[in-house]
Amino acid sequence: MSALLAIRGAEARFGPVKALRGLDLEVRAGEVVGLLGHNGAGKTTTLKLALGLLRPQAGSVRLLGVDPAGRQGRRARARVGFLPENVSFYDMLTGREVLRYLARLKRRPAAEADRLLERVGLAHAADRRVRTWSKGMRQRLGLAQALLGRPELLLLDEPTVGLDPVATAELYATIGRLRGEGVGVVLCSHVLAGIERHIDRCVIVGHGRVLAAGTLEELRARARLPIRIRARGRWHEPPLQGLGEGEGVVARRLNGHQLELDVAPERKLAVLRALAAAPGVEDLDVRPPGLETLYAHFDAMLHRGPDGEAP
Amino acid sequence: MRVLAAIAAKELRDGLRNRWALSIALGLALLALVIAWFGPAASGKVGFASLGATVVSLASLAVFLVPLVALLLGYEAVVGEAERGTLLLLLAYPLSRPLLLAGKFAGHALLLAAAVAVGLGGAALVLAATGAAEAEGFWAAFGRLVGSTALLGWAFLALAYAISAGAREKGRAAALALAAWLGLVLVYDLLLLGALVAAAGRVPAWLFEALLVANPADAFRVLNLGGEAAREALGGLGGLVHGAALSPALLVSVLLAWTALLLGLAFWRFARRPV
């Protein structure tokens, strides 16, 4: 099956500033791709390329099989939903008026706008002016407009900024439902904590290029970062026999009954077996490196160069 | 076409909702009445004097007020949406930039024309209630005034769009709009008069006329001060344009041409605006 969005080797320049230098991104139906990176890494520029609002100076962009900045781009955009970062809508209009207006611009019936207000849980406030709405409600209105016209591809720029934990969970639930319906989703975020469970693949960008891409497992395998294991129990001497300390295992005594180990991935099972068999060990906690750790690793690699040498 | 109407309708609704149109119409009507009533005070009496004097007074009011109002209405058109984040959103929709700009301009132009018609029309109704409508050609004169004032407003609205379409920040667009108002409505005439006096009548008529129509505010002045009804009440440039060979049809075309030209500039700048 062909990709909903395919960006290959894209370069974008604003004057002398290179915003993107050779970026690749592919999104297929029914997958959620996290486009992750700190502010200014090139995430929003990538979305603008995808929507045809910018033309790449080099490389190619295909949105639903066509060039989004070309003549057929407009028709492709009708099948895409976009939630920009920091959109504040029209304060003087009510939520219903805003969404009906945007529905007309997308050539959709007003009834669809009303249904979507219901779906994102804004029906009760729909006839109040947007000016009186909270940040979370505006964000949900943004999501509702992105869903106009049953898009095949959703581009969400920092959708969880300003949302409380409940609203964030609801947003991810909605994204999960859409994925089930076969919608492809690009989720841009600089908040990495807690996003892992909701994305199928991630593309980590920094300084306008892809630092790493793949599933979380693939990134972990590539980064070969140690796994953190904590052992808790009652012992006189910490259970360090047979763990192979020094060979891919670094141990730290946290206190009298807790031990923390950083273990190379290939040593994980051996260490776990040894710990499980050691007398006095009561509990084990295994933590693979999270997205934040991975991001820091790949970002640092860019600065150091892959061999660990300073460039 | 339906999308264009939807954009225009939204701008209209916005303008009515924030009471912009209402306050402009009311303000215009009140000022118009005050001027029509007390305008002849200099000649020692108060009240509706003559149709000609009234039209000249009201046109002088309109030429200051309406360009300012139009610039204030339009300077945000593009840069305001950009700062709100809605421009990026709308451009990601399946619509073209010219359609978006045309829809917004249509809505704002209707709003402005309605405010002018209600404001000046309201003043005309009050004057008519005092018996002024018995003057010959009263309604026709007011109709011409309303029409030409709307055209004046549109030319300046188009100028505001041209400013807004290329502006980086709202503040800068506002400053440019104010500068344009000062320059075209106040300074231009002073310079023109000064140059005429300095040249001591050696300026050829064609050059003078060209300089008059090179500014939409002056084209409007000539249109309303050079009319039949205004013959007996002239001042400032009015005395000079008396013999000018600028027909009302030509002046109306000039105002329309300014609107089209400035709007074209707005489209051109908007097409080149980076998002």
ipTM entry: 0.86
Residue in B88, B93, B275 closest to A105 by CB: B93
All domains of chain A in start order, with CATH: 5-221 (3.40.50.300), 226-288 (3.30.70)
At CB < 8 A and 24+ separation, what contacts does A68-76 make?
Answer: A74/B94, A74/B95, A74/B96, A75/B94, A76/A52
| Backbone torsions φ then ψ of B141, nearest 5 degrees | -65, -45
Other CB atoms within a 10 A radius of the CB of residue B44 amount to 6
**How far apart (Å, rounded) are the C-alpha atoms in residues A48 and A219?**
26
> B12 to chain A nearest CA, in Å?
12
Query: A37 near A206, Cβ under 8 Å?
Result: yes
- Tokens of residue A15, six digits: 């004057």
For every residue of A225-267, DSSP letters joined together read PPEEEEEEE--SS-S-TTS-TTSSEEEEEEETTEEEEEE-GGG
A107: chain B residues, CB-CB within 8 Å: 2-3, 94
Q: What is the pLDDT of residue B236?
A: 47
B201 — contact with chain A (CB < 8 Å)? Answer: no
Distance CA(A8)–CA(A26), nearest Å, equals 8
Query: Quick one: pLDDT at residue B126?
Result: 86
* pLDDT score of A311 more than 50: no
Compute the distance between CA of residue A120 and CA of residue B28 in angstroms, rounded to an integer.
45
Residue among B212, B217, B209, B114 at smallest CA distance from B159: B217
The helix (H) or strand (E) run that includes residue A33 is: strand A32-36
Contacts of A80 in chain B (CB under 8 A): 92
Distance CA B183, CA A15 (A): 33
CA dihedral A170, A175, A177, A180 (to 10 degrees): -160
Contact with chain A for residue B12, Cβ under 8 A: no
Q: What is the pLDDT of residue B40?
A: 67
Q: Alpha-carbon distance B154 to A120, whole Å?
A: 41
- Pair type for strands A80-83 and A153-157: parallel
Opening angle at CA B45, ends B44 and B50, nearest 5: 115
Residue A95 to residue A120: CA distance in whole angstroms: 12
A77–B93 C-beta distance less than 8 A: yes
Give the type of residue at B22.
L
Question: Reduced to 3 states, what is the DSSP secondary structure of residue A158?
Answer: coil
DSSP designation for B94: S
Closest-CA residue of chain B to A91: B14
pLDDT at position A88: 86
Q: Which residues touch B138 (CB under 8 Å, ≥6 apart)?
A: B51, B124, B128, B132
| Mean pLDDT value of segment A222-231 | 90
Instruction: Give contacts of A90 with chain B, Cβ < 8 Å.
Output: 10, 14, 84, 86
The H or E element that residue A187 is part of is strand A184-189
- The 10s digit of each residue's pLDDT in A41-100 is 889 999 999 999 999 999 999 999 999 999 899 999 999 999 998 888 998 899 999 999
Cβ of B84 within 8 Å of Cβ of A89? The answer is yes
Q: Do B94 and A75 touch (CB under 8 A)?
A: yes
Please count the other Cβ atoms lying within 10 Å of the Cβ belonging to residue A227: 18
Tokens of B163: 């400013």
Answer for the pair B138, B131: CB distance below 8 angstroms, yes or no: no
CB contact (8 A) between residue A84 and residue B92 = yes
- Predicted pLDDT at A290: 85
Q: Which among B85, B94, B274 has CB closest to A78? A: B94
- pLDDT at res. B138: 85
How confident is the model over A107-113, as a mean pLDDT? 94
Provide mean pLDDT across the span A22-38.
92
CA A299 to mean position of chain CA atoms: 16
> Å from B89 to nearest chain A CA?
6
- Helix or strand holding residue A188 (H, E): strand A184-189
A11-15, A220-224, B216-220: range with highest mean pLDDT: B216-220
Residue pLDDT tens, chain B, 275 long: 889 999 999 999 999 988 888 999 999 999 888 888 776 666 666 777 777 778 888 888 899 999 999 999 999 999 999 999 999 999 999 999 999 999 999 999 999 999 999 999 988 888 888 877 777 788 888 899 999 999 999 999 999 999 999 999 999 999 999 999 999 999 998 998 888 888 877 878 788 888 888 999 999 988 887 654 444 444 445 445 544 567 888 899 999 999 999 999 999 999 999 88
Task: Tell me the residues of chain B between 94 and 113 that have a Cβ less than 8 Å away from chain A.
Answer: 94-96
Torsion B12-B14-B17-B21 (CA) sign: negative
How many distinct structural domains can be found in chain B? 1
pLDDT at A109: 94
- Between B20 and A34, the higher pLDDT residue: A34
* Conformational region of residue A107, where left means phi above 0, alpha means psi within -120 to 50, and beta covers everything else: left
pLDDT at position A245, please? 80
Substitution target in B88, B168, B272 with the highest count of A β-carbons within 10 Å is: B88
| Full domain range(s) for residue B221 | 2-272
Compute the C-alpha angle A258/A264/A267, nearest 5°: 85
Mean pLDDT of chain A: 89
Q: Does the distance separating the beta carbons of A88 and B86 come in below 8 Å?
A: yes
Whether pLDDT at A247 is above 90: no
* Cross-strand partners of A153: A80, A184
Chain B nearest-CA residue for A15: B274
Going through chain B in order, the beta strands assigned E by DSSP cover none
Q: CB of B6 within 8 Å of any CB in chain A?
A: yes
Place of tokens 């920091």: A86
Residue B194 CA, chain-centre distance (Å), reads: 24
Burial degree of B85 (CB within 10 A; 0-12, 13-18, 19+): middle
8 Å CB contact between A113 and A88: no
Does the beta-carbon distance from B94 to A93 stay under 8 Å? no
| B137/B143 Cα distance (integer angstroms) | 10
Chain A closest-CA separation from residue B119 CA (Å): 24
Interface test with A, best of B7, B93, B273 (most A CBs within 10 A): B93
How far apart are alpha carbons B170 and A250 in whole angstroms?
58
User: How many C-beta atoms surround the C-beta of residue A244 within 10 A?
Assistant: 14
Min distance A289 CA to chain B CA atoms (Å): 36
CA distance A184 to A81: 10
Q: Is the CB of residue B75 less than 8 Å from the CB of residue B174?
A: yes
| Residues recorded for chain B | 275
Distance separating alpha carbons of residues B275 and B270, to the nearest angstrom: 10
Size of interface A-B (CB pairs under 8 A): 70
